């Protein structure tokens, strides 16, 4: 596949490249930046672009940053509470809503996702590929819906907003949902003009088919999503935990949970290769891994497992955050590029 844009009528997708930086020296990325995502310190980045700090504490390091860039002019705009950067073929957006403005978290989630779907509908990038979602007190019982926690209420608001939008797609984005210690609902997302390919994990029940007695609303996300950009394939792997079928495994054993989570990610990569003719290598093509950790004192054990399972030069970010089930101690997400 060639990546030339000399013929303006070709439908080839533009490149979308990511550089991961783990120190505070800001990178001299000269190409148009879609976004700068960072964890920990802002560093001394002077890039004029959509810049997003995730409200989770970075453990064992000062900075983990990603620069997402392309080769076409990037425009910036906002729609209601959403700030976004885009080209005709790609969009990165960010919304942050203050949880203190309402006690009705389902309504807040509905508002955020309604704005996201409206924003997509108003632009050429209508396909949601990847979302990241952070909010506080994720497993606390909701005030209005007794016997539902905030994660379940979140799932309900997300589903309702999608239904209200009239979007018919059954290709759900890859997603991460993590509990933060700040009082904001933060959501950022990647969208494109053409859809990605959803990949499910044969070891796990698809989340959108979870039995309803477990979660009052099925979580609408795909385990992984493949997308071609230029002459590269991206594979966005959702937040992945020690869940087999729909049940948590290895209660109270953070190392076993992490190993099982990595097994799940590797199975998903094998599934993509089997079903969609990709040739991803589960170690060598891993651009980075994020590891969300419930208890900071588990960091040392987690680092030992990562040392055994990942290539030594693979960037990794360890972030303090809560999982959507109380019995999960760790969750990972992965980004593959080949």
Which positions lie near ligand 3EB, rule CB under 6 A?
Answer: 155, 175-177, 207, 219, 221, 238-239, 241, 243, 324
Closer to ligand 3EB by Cβ: residue 70 or 106: 106
The minimum distance between CB 96 and ligand 3EB, in angstroms, equals 18
**Helices 150-165, 105-121: inter-axial angle, 10-degree rounding:** 30
The minimum distance between CB 14 and ligand 3EB, in angstroms, equals 27
d(C-alpha 242, C-alpha 256), whole Å: 8
Closer to ligand 3EB by Cβ: residue 309 or 325: 325
The minimum distance between CB 219 and ligand 3EB, in angstroms, equals 3
Task: List the one residue out of 240, 217, 223 whose CA is nearest residue 106.
Answer: 217
> Residue-wise over 14-35: b if at least 16 C-beta within 10 A, else e?
bbbbbebbeeeebbebeebbbb
Count of C-beta atoms within a 10 Å radius of residue 168: 5
Task: List the one residue out of 235, 227, 331, 332 whose CA is nearest residue 287.
Answer: 235
Closer to ligand 3EB by Cβ: residue 176 or 271: 176
The minimum distance between CB 4 and ligand 3EB, in angstroms, equals 37
Bridge partners (DSSP) of residue 305 are none
Task: List the one residue out of 315, 283, 297 whose CA is nearest residue 18.
Answer: 315
Closer to ligand 3EB by Cβ: residue 93 or 239: 239
Closer to ligand 3EB by Cβ: residue 209 or 296: 209
The minimum distance between CB 246 and ligand 3EB, in angstroms, equals 8
């Amino acid at each position: 596949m060639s990546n030339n844009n000399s013929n303006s009528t070709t439908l080839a997708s533009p490149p979308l490249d990511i550089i991961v930086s783990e120190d505070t020296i800001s990178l001299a990325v000269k190409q148009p930046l879609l976004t700068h995502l960072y964890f920990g310190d802002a560093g001394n980045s002077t890039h004029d672009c959509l810049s997003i700090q995730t409200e989770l504490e970075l453990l064992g390091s000062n900075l983990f940053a990603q620069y997402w860039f392309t080769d076409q002019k990037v425009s910036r705009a906002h729609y209601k509470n959403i700030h976004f950067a885009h080209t005709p073929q790609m969009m990165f957006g960010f919304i942050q809503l203050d949880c203190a403005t309402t006690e009705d978290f389902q309504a807040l989630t509905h508002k955020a996702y309604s704005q996201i779907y409206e924003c997509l509908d108003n632009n050429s990038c209508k396909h949601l590929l990847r979302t990241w979602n952070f909010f506080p007190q994720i497993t606390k019982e909701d005030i209005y819906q007794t016997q539902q926690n905030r994660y379940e209420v979140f799932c309900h608001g997300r589903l309702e907003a999608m239904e209200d939008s009239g979007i018919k797609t059954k290709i759900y984005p890859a997603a991460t949902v993590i509990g933060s210690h700040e009082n904001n609902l933060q959501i950022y997302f990647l969208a494109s003009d053409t859809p990605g390919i959803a990949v499910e994990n044969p070891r796990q029940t698809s989340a959108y088919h979870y039995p309803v007695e477990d979660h009052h609303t099925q979580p609408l996300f795909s385990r992984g999503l493949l997308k071609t950009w230029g002459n590269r394939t991206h594979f966005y792997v959702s937040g992945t935990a020690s869940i087999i079928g729909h049940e948590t495994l290895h209660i109270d054993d953070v190392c076993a949970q992490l190993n099982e989570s990595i097994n799940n990610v590797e199975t998903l990569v094998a599934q993509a290769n089997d079903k969609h003719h990709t040739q991803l290598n589960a170690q060598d093509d891993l651009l980075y891994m994020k590891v969300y950790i419930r208890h900071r004192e588990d960091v040392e054990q987690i680092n030992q497992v990562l040392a055994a399972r990942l290539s030594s030069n693979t960037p990794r970010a360890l972030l303090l955050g809560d999982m959507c089930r109380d019995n999960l101690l760790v969750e990972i997400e992965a980004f593959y590029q080949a």
